[in-house]
Every structure is written in structure tokens, then in C-alpha cells.
């Protein structure tokens, strides 16, 4: 007999959409959700990597479908929502994970690069959430994947930090507004996570430097973020609304 506490974490038969699900954090989120019993729609641009992620999920006994889409395309939001409704009939959780990251000096970062990061990191999740909400019932959840750089200063990340600060503020406003519909909205704010997006960590000296400055004594792994997203997607976090769950190994504690 399943204990009531364990059922709080159960996502059995929940219909979940995860963007940026072909690699890194997004792929691990999708795998973690599927392992918890969810039916997952994997959304990303790269068809080959989407297929590989889907194969991993099904091989482990999970259930998923794929939706190839560039979230910045004008019709992407409607395309993704239509795909979710076609295969699942509803949306119980939306995980806005897709994002881009560029690190370079402010004086070398043009407004075109700022616009590009806003297009993926802010506009796309805004549009997708707006398209999904009419099809989400009471008890549904929206999780935004932000960044601890929304609160911390780091040279070379002005454009990216601006976009993630916007994500955090947007999520907080939506949390209040959508609570009237019974939809909970929260944000996960990762720190340094070892993924293809942080390939600079392949340099042993860079990895050592990041490890030294992290109180946890290591850089993060995609599983660390996926666990936080699972929590915020489940009823275990039922009293969390408009919260930011920081997953950065203690960097923000300084």
C-alpha cells in the first residue's frame, strides 16, 4: 500500500510538456518526470537528439512523445500545445526549460545578442504559457527554469542575467494571477550545471576553479535541477506559489 506522503511525489498519468528536452537539463527533467509516472512531451529543435532522449525514456519503461519545434518561431506555442492536446488531451504541467546562454564582455555584446537571448529565454516561455493555460485545469503547474544570475552579478553575463531576471519576475506575477485558476507557478534557479551549454568546464582548470568557489564542493549535475523541477511539479510542493528554488551548491549563500 502506497503511503500518502509518497503519493505527493507521484506524477502517474500526468501530461507534462518539457521544452529544451533534447539534451542537458531538459533531457534529464524529461527522464525524471517519466520515471515518476508522467507522460512527457519532449520539445526541442534537434530531431536526432529528441529521438535519442525518447529512446532512453521508453527503454526505461517510461511514456513520451516528441514534438520538434523551435520555440522562438512565430507559431511554436500553438504548435506545441496542439501536439500536447493531440497525444494527451490536456496539459497538467508545463516546464519552460529551453534557453540560450552567451558569455562575453558587455562592450562586445550588441543589442542583437540581447534580443536573441530574450527571444528564447523570455518571449518563448511567455507565449507558450499563454497558449497552454486555457488547457490546464486546477492543480496544474508551471515551472520556469531561471538562473541564480537573476540575483547575482557575474561579469560577461549582462544580457543573459537581464533575461533570467525577467523570467523570475514574470513567473512571480503569473503565480499571483494564475492562482485564481488553481495553477501553481514557480521557478527553479540553477547555478553552474555541467551540460553542453557549459562546455568551458571541460577545461580542468576551469572546473577546478568553479569547484573551489562552490560550498557544496562540486559543480551541479542535470539531476540536481531535475529533482527540484519534479518537486515543484508534484503535490509535495502544494504550498509553494511564486517561489524561487535555488539549486546552485551554495554560491548564492555568499
φ, ψ (nearest 5 deg) of residue 40: -115, 130
What sign for the dihedral angle of Cα 160, 192, 26, 228? negative
Q: How does DSSP classify residue 60?
A: T
Q: Contact 76/129 with Cβ under 8 angstroms? A: no
Q: What is the length of the chain?
A: 254
Rounded Cα–Cα distance for residues 146 and 138 (Å): 24
Which residues fall within 8 angstroms of residue 162, CB to CB, at 6 or more apart?
Answer: 114, 117, 118
Q: Helix axis angle, 222-233 relative to 24-35, nearest 10°?
A: 50
Q: Which residues are catalytic?
A: 160
Count of CB atoms within 10 A of residue 180's CB?
A: 7
Instruction: Using DSSP, state whether 110 is helix, strand or coil.
Output: coil
Report long-range pairs for 151-155 (Cβ below 8 Å, ≥24 apart): 151/189, 151/252, 152/251, 152/252, 155/105, 155/106
H helix count then E strand count, the chain: 9, 7
User: Where are the alpha helices (H) located in 42-139, listed in sequence order?
Assistant: 47-59, 76-88, 111-118, 124-132
Amino acid at each position: 500500500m502506497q503511503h500518502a506522503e509518497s503519493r505527493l511525489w507521484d506524477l502517474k498519468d500526468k501530461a507534462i510538456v518539457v521544452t529544451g528536452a533534447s539534451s542537458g537539463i531538459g533531457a534529464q527533467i524529461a527522464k525524471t518526470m517519466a520515471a515518476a509516472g508522467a507522460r512527457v512531451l519532449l520539445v526541442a529543435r534537434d530531431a536526432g537528439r529528441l529521438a535519442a532522449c525518447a529512446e532512453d525514456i521508453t527503454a526505461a519503461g517510461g511514456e513520451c512523445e516528441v514534438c520538434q519545434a523551435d520555440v522562438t518561431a512565430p507559431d511554436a506555442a500553438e504548435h506545441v500545445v496542439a501536439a500536447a492536446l493531440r497525444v494527451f488531451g490536456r496539459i497538467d504541467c508545463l516546464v519552460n526549460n529551453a534557453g540560450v546562454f552567451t558569455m562575453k564582455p558587455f562592450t562586445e555584446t550588441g543589442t542583437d545578442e540581447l534580443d536573441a537571448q530574450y527571444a528564447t529565454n523570455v518571449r518563448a516561455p511567455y507565449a507558450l504559457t499563454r497558449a497552454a493555460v486555457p488547457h490546464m485545469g486546477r492543480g496544474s503547474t508551471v515551472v520556469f527554469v531561471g538562473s541564480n544570475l537573476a540575483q547575482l552579478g557575474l561579469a560577461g553575463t549582462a544580457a543573459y542575467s537581464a533575461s533570467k531576471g525577467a523570467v523570475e519576475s514574470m513567473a512571480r506575477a503569473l503565480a499571483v494571477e494564475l492562482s485564481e485558476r488553481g495553477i501553481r507557478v514557480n521557478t527553479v534557479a540553477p547555478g553552474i550545471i555541467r551540460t553542453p551549454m557549459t562546455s568551458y568546464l571541460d577545461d580542468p582548470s576551469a572546473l577546478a576553479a568553479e569547484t573551489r568557489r562552490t560550498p557544496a564542493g562540486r559543480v551541479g549535475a542535470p539531476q540536481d535541477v531535475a529533482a527540484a523541477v519534479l518537486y515543484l511539479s508534484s503535490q509535495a510542493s502544494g504550498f509553494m506559489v511564486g517561489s524561487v528554488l535555488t539549486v546552485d551548491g551554495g554560491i548564492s549563500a555568499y
